Structure 1
Amino acid sequence: MQSSSKMFTELLSTLPKHNHNIFSVDLYQYQGFWYDSKILEGVIQVQQQFQALSTDIIIAGWPKTGNTWLKALCFAIATRKQYHQTKNPLLTNLPHNLVPVLEIDFLNNPKIRETLHHSVLSTHMPYTSLPKSITSSGCKIIYICRDPKDTFVSFYHFFRRLHVLSTRVGGSKTDLDSSFHDEFDMFSEGKTTNGPYWDHVLGYYKASLDRPDMFLFMKYEELVEDPVFYVKKLARYMDKPFSLEEELEGIPEKIVKTCSFQSLSGLEVNKTGKYYVHESYMLDNNTFFRKGNIGDWKNHMTPEMAKRIDGITSERLRGFDFSFGQPIAP
């Protein structure tokens, strides 16, 4: 362990470094993406040690693109025959505690798989950094993306709460507005946790075109528009399709209701519980539940900021038959 720690420290000293002064953290660029040192340590450990199984289902996505909701839906689909509706672990656990994040939970507990009774795992890692055991195992990957403007707003508020920004800068509205603009600049430049966002999305999108059998590429906005349709689609993709009897019983609709923002955010565990990231981070579960609305960016961004993001998006997606928030052809 000491040898491994020393090697990691030596690796950090060779990587491009960026001081994310807004959130008081150093970020390191590794394989084209930015991470804080603890998450990067987890990424490297997963790359070196994690062994995927062909039966694994990996939920992937950039932070704050709908991961919590998607985890809940996939967990409910995968375990629906194990638990009675009123005994589902989702009623007493944060979805992130039921569907581990590889680069966080595998670092904390390399034997995490032995504690699971299902095959659903998750990651924020970009496609190009996934361990070969995942890309060559035949397992299935479900990727979710979201309009960059809403993604940024949700991401900003999450990290603002995480680092108690209002206290650090004295709580003045002027300073908070300044921090929003500063973080917006970093997001636009790709110099933020797991950034650049556009590279993250395109990595998985291009992989989904090459391997449609391995990937289900989803958009948050589509899931919001017709959650029952996509729950059925998820179940088929996960090789756990609903039977005719289940559909007649309204099981897909019940899963959507159980996993809705209103239901999950209203649970006692998600109002008062804690989520352990590592020894430096213990988050309130309610940090993961803010609004989930489409178009919330309009309440936070200036027209100039929105135009800048849309311009970057247009440039980065040029040549691809893809746009955020629009349906993907069947």
Structure 2
Amino acid sequence: MAPNAPYEICFVPKSREEEEEDEKIYKRYKEIIATTLPIAGGLLGEPMYQYQGFWYSSRVGSVGPLAVQDHFRARASDILIASIPKSGTTWLKSLAFAVINIKSHPPSVQQQHPLHIFNSHDLVPMLEIRLYNNDFNGNRIPNLDILPSPRLFGTHMPYTSLPQSVTLSGSRIVYICRNIKDNLVSMSRFIIKMRLALSLEPMKVEDILEWFCKGRCVIGEVIEHALGYWKASLERPQNVLFLKYDKMVAEPALHLKRIAEFMGCPFSSMEEKEGVVHQIIKLCSFENLSNLEVNKTGLSDGGFLNRAYFRKGKVGDSANYLSPKMMEQLDQIIEQKLHGSGLTL
């Protein structure tokens, strides 16, 4: 029998009155979505709704974003791993978890490390997809106060939709984005596999590109999502760290040390001398994580297969899938939306 994910302690037993109140809260969110928000079909056959300028899939979030805004209370010590799907989220979550828990779970003892027992998304749960998603929590508001600091969470929500307490408390956000073309291809391959698993009509990459350009691919407008966190990192560099997957792949040790420093737990000179940085990089590597039994079986966020989170992760792989015409179309969109921002994707 698989062990319970650490975050499950947040769902402590409640009285019947409390359970009924939680059900009323989630029922209200469903009514808001059904009666006041734009609805459209999604790439996985599920409804999507537009909320605060971004499209959300009911499969990955359901009413979660609304519940997060109303009920999540951030602490100054909180760390959020923010991203668009298929941009290096799983890797970044693994690295952040390993760094924060370096004392209690030394990376040198890999076989007993939580990352060998749990999928990264079980160790760093998504706020809107796991903790506040009524499809996964049984219409229960989680008690996150029970978790010790520093708390580590994930989110795909855009910066402008994060609860006000995140900014007011001084929580730190580590954001990762990826070359847009590689992100599109990785997302497309993921969607194609999931459509096959769900017995839906096959789709090609060029079909998904059309949805992507309209902002209706998973968490909507990918470029606007990155821009939101980019601008926040310029305005509040002490609270928002903006990372690029491509550069992290090129220099993992350099960026891991940046992440550790930003999160408030820099490596000591002794730890660096003992090779702890490289131990964490090895522990969290694609080669290691993708071959673990926990990541070959079971379901994770949104009911997706754990193994679907591990593809190739190669920089520049989009050149093998996108035609020159598709590349040109994306170049025009990227140039137009990023013009004058100082951000390159």
The two structures share one fold, judged by TM-score above 0.5: yes
Paired residue for 1:41? 63
Aligned pairs for 1:10-89 (under 5 A) are: 10-12=31-33, 13-20=35-42, 22-37=43-58, 39-84=61-106, 85-86=108-109, 87-89=112-114
CA distance in 1, matches of 2:120, 2:150: 13
Paired residue for 1:242? 267
Task: Judge conservation of contact 2:64–2:128 (CA < 8 Å) in 1.
Answer: yes
Structure 1 residues 106 and 113, CA gap change in structure 2 (3 angstroms)? farther
The two structures, once aligned, show a CA RMSD in angstroms of: 1.7
Measured after TM superposition, the shift of residue 196 of structure 1 is: 0.6
Paired residue for 1:206? 231
Paired residue for 2:217? 192
Matched, 1:129 2:129: no
CA distance in 2, matches of 1:256, 1:225: 12
Paired residue for 1:98? 123
Alignment length, in residue pairs? 312
SS of equivalent residue, structure 2 residue 104: coil
What's the TM-score once normalised by structure 2's chain length? 0.86
Measured after TM superposition, the shift of residue 273 of structure 1 is: 3.2
Matched, 1:147 2:203: no
Gaps of 5+ in 1: 170-174, 325-330
Paired residue for 1:327? none
SS of equivalent residue, structure 1 residue 323: coil
Task: Judge conservation of contact 2:94–2:115 (CA < 8 Å) in 1.
Answer: yes
Structure 1 residues 272 and 165, CA gap change in structure 2 (3 angstroms)? closer
Gaps of 5+ in 2: 1-21
Task: Judge conservation of contact 2:62–2:129 (CA < 8 Å) in 1.
Answer: no
Paired residue for 1:270? 295
Q: Among all aligned residue pairs of Structure 1 and Structure 2, give the percentage whose two residues are the same amino acid.
A: 40
CA distance in 2, matches of 1:165, 1:150: 23
SS of equivalent residue, structure 1 residue 274: coil
Displaced runs of 4 or more, over 4 A: 115-118
Structure 1 residues 119 and 135, CA gap change in structure 2 (3 angstroms)? same
Paired residue for 2:338? 317
CA distance in 2, matches of 1:202, 1:216: 13
Aligned partner letter, 1:32: G
Structure 1 residues 228 and 296, CA gap change in structure 2 (3 angstroms)? same
Measured after TM superposition, the shift of residue 119 of structure 1 is: 2.0
What's the TM-score once normalised by structure 1's chain length? 0.90
CA distance in 2, matches of 1:288, 1:8: 29
Aligned pairs for 1:213-228 (under 5 A) are: 213-228=238-253
